[in-house]
Structure 1
């Protein structure tokens, strides 16, 4: 496990009593958690536990039914209509990487990374492409700048997606099962980049089924089940001696399967 960051004066992410309902179905049950600046949070748990929904609530891709969300000092009360200004302020601080890569198939890797910078940050084409080249080198794909996504492997496409998110200079990175669509070998390429981001002090919240990554790279582990946090704390301690029966059952199932 890497060295944990020093305690920040204020959290990078703070969720207070976040709830999400679809009609009568409660997906998230008053979830509260804090991620300090430079910290890596891993969210694990069985399918349907609400992990991805919680992650998408952080940048309001899913609108919570109730609760308060704070990201890098921007606070949004979600039980009333969120203004466009509030939404833009919060999302400007967050980068997100999805299970699917969501790249534009008709654009090269370079343009996939440069165009959002021009549209969102107002950078010139030259400045945006220079930044894109730097980030492609950063994720080990300097030679793929002029390739189209369809000519790249799944692992390469996901690394391009990570570079695209980083290009907008987020304070926080969210990863929603970024290796789930990849075979193990290609998944390792993506995990390597994420490990490097963690070592560089990027604040990250990661929904993952990669148990070794969750144990060894994250600073804080959250286990979810049925829309609620069932256990949280030091990853090494939870993996070694989980306190809750639901956590023991889940870890036994996923670790025995490996």
Structure 2
């Protein structure tokens, strides 16, 4: 599903969703600073149900911080965050209950895999379902097996993470996030720690999720993935959105000089 982009010159405003469509994710005037260092300044962004948004830009642009603000792993200093109609106003402080409820709607996949080394692959995926969703062990493990098949790792149930390749561990992490039945999947540079060949396995699974209609926000330097899979590309620099629009347009003919400079640096390597 593609959305009409805002003009690059007005990029800090949220992109309009299609007529009559309520955003699955909505960030409004989000700001974040650490002391005197401004990481995010007045950032607004809407993501429609089923849309895949790729966030690109130079290191230090605020991409990962913005992604972590979506599920409140980072608490914004101001602004509102909404997922699937549940809205949290961050300016007045956030209760633990509000954080937990919002966080459950967003699956997160990090650069590092964060798997439990002492648990089998199956238990890594099942344990949170039992403790958070209240599923029985049998139900959780049945769902875990289904998800392992979905990420092409059937047969790895009794293996320990250290016996798996980096690409396999990242796919296990994706299955673990999917097990919580999220409304949106958040990916923070999921292939950055992987060899290019191994990273392709992870990107293939992400492409399948996108094809299946999962709402996704992906922070990435994989420009080919951003161009070929995402509906919209958002370019960030200096704590704000400087340009956004259809993937082919932004990557092929960026209008903002800073976006052009970043894309030249990435594609000329």
Distance 2:41 2:134 in 1: 39
TM-score, normalised to structure 1, is 0.97
Higher mean displacement: 175-184 or 234-243: 234-243
Residues of 1 paired with 2:251 and 2:185: CA distance? 24
Deviates more, 1:240-249 or 1:3-12: 3-12
- Distance in 2 (alpha carbons) for counterparts of 1:156 and 1:241: 35
Q: Give the CA deviation at 1:179.
A: 0.2
Aligned to 1:170: 182
Partner of 1:198: 210
The one of 28, 39, 43 aligned to 1:16: 28
Q: Does 1:142 align with 2:154?
A: yes
User: How many Å apart are 1:63 and its aligned residue?
Assistant: 0.5
CA distance in 2 between counterparts of 1:56 and 1:4 reads 24
Partner of 1:241: 253
Q: Distance in 2 between matches of 1:254 and 1:247?
A: 11
- Equivalent position SS for 1:141: coil
Structure 1 residue 189: Cα displacement: 0.2
Within the alignment, does 1:68 sit opposite 2:51 as a pair? no
**CA deviation profile, 1:134-188 (whole Å, cap 9, x unmatched):** 0000000001111000000000000000000000000000000000000001100
Q: Which residue of 2 aligns with 1:26?
A: 38
Matched, 1:255 2:267: yes
Gaps of 5+ in 1: none
RMSD across aligned positions (CA): 1.2
Contact 2:107–2:185 (8 Å) recurs in 1: yes
Q: Which of 127, 138, 142 is matched with 2:139 structurally?
A: 127
| 2:110 equivalent in structure 1 | 98
1: distance between equivalents of 2:252 and 2:57? 16
Q: Deviations over 1:23-73 (max 9, x none)?
A: 111000110011000000000000010000000000010000111110111
Q: Which residue of 2 aligns with 1:218?
A: 230
**Residue 9 of structure 1: how far off its partner (Å):** 2.3
**Deviation at 1:4?**
4.0
What residue in structure 1 maps to residue 128 of structure 2? 116
- Cα distance in structure 1, aligned partners of 2:256 and 2:219: 20
Larger mean CA deviation between 236-245 and 104-113 belongs to: 236-245
- TM score, norm. by length of structure 2: 0.93
Listed as ranges, the gaps of 5+ residues in structure 2 are: 4-16
